[in-house]
Amino acid sequence: MYDLIVIGAGPGGYLAAERAGGAGLKTMVIEKKNIGGVCLNEGCVPSKTILNSSKIYEYAKNGNKYGVTCENVIYDQKKVIKRKNIVVKKLVSGIQAVLAKNKVEVVSGKGVIVGKTSEGFEISVNGEQHTCKNLIIATGSEALIPPIPGVKEAFEKSIIVTNREILDLTTIPERLTVIGGGVIGLEMASYFATVGSKVTVIEMMDRIGGYTDREIGTILKGNLEKKGITFLLESKVTKVMDSRVYYEIEGKETSIDSDKILLSIGRRANISNIGLEKLSIAVEKGAIKVDETCKTNIPSVYAIGDINGTSMLAHTAYREAEVAVNNILGNRDIMRYSAIPSVIYTNPEVASVGETEETAKNKGISFEIKKISMNYSGRYMAENEGGDGIAKVLIDKKYKKIIGVQIIGSYASEIIYGAGIMVETEMLVKDLQEIVFPHPTVSEIIREAIFS
């Protein structure tokens, strides 16, 4: 008998197991593939590792702007991938050590819900059944493969790749077509364009970056076009024939040839074949339905991370893990999604938290915008030759509180957590005026935007 069984050891799953084990609960976590899930093995960490290598390469090639000249700069993709694998391995080992320290039993295999008895929930793995008082489902998500003619066949031939396979390419494709201009698509487009690929991005929407602030998305698009990326917006892929992608734009069908095709049009929750029907767990729009405590419609059963479809971000899963475990321990806690930061790790970076102009207008919020060039930051100017980044702060007119911040520029990913605190705590402008920012830092741009 376990106090808690967690199915899935991605960011949400392993943190939930760690917190529960640390609190004294007898805990088991089941993972069918790799500890750390998609984020650590096939997403967040490996992509940021290779993106950093490309950034160093880009700086080396363009160092003459800063008085540094490098000759014969060579990019070795095989070494980059080798280093990426080492980084991932070290981090996985670290998580395994933390789980062991908190006395969490880790089982490799596919966890499936069998049913419920008077003793608790029955979970099967590797032919054995285990019983638990509480259950957390954290099986994550997978890349969405659309029913476009030819996609399945091209995928089987390894012409089409997803976020998983593209992070293991040891050679740089001469021509890369990216289907989907969302976060993953943009990051990989930025990476491969920087290291030598001719990149084309095909996107159905009239903008890139999903629902990123439109003005900032436009600035990002301009920066990526300078890297040589071609964007085909308001374009619909109609079929794939081997390495050729056919798409419709302005009512006409045309095509483009590629060496590799990255399919990046979204992700779907892994709800199939895990036994949800055995407990009659409610599913809505392809994801497990949960309340503000991350609890499903079944008492003592929780769903965290991508599986609940609320916010498919690793850091959201971390917080959901804490909320679920706190409630299992009898300490009421709830999820709040209004101040969850989002980041696009291109170069330049884009980071956002809270409301954008569009979302605020749609909600009928009366607000004012404080917008400023990143060049008002001394450090930004010192480190970015010709940078065109901006920072935007949205302020509620009625209460004079900060409701949103968007930044495009260096260190945006590291600055946004501070803006997140402002939004989460509903910080008033007058209170921010008393906060001292270190100088010179790029983070000062938030203060400059509001008070300059």
Give the residue numbers marked as catalytic: 439
Ranges assigned E (strand) in 203-325: 230-232, 235-241, 244-249, 252-257, 260-263, 267-269, 283-284, 287-288, 301-303
Q: At 3, which amino acid appears?
A: D
- The residues, ordered by sequence, that sit 6+ positions from 320 with a Cβ below 8 Å of its Cβ are 12, 294, 304, 305, 308, 335
- The residues, ordered by sequence, that sit 6+ positions from 68 with a Cβ below 8 Å of its Cβ are none
CA 406 to chain centre: 16
Contact 104, 24 (CB under 8 A): no
* Residue closest to 138 by CA, chosen among 35, 285, 10, 19: 10
* Residue closest to 245 by CA, chosen among 229, 262, 230, 233: 262
Contact 355, 404 (CB under 8 A): yes
Listed in sequence order, the DSSP H helices in 367-411 are 378-383
CA 320 to chain centre: 15
CA-based max dimension of the chain: 73
Length of the chain counted residue by residue: 452
* Residue closest to 410 by CA, chosen among 381, 431, 430: 381
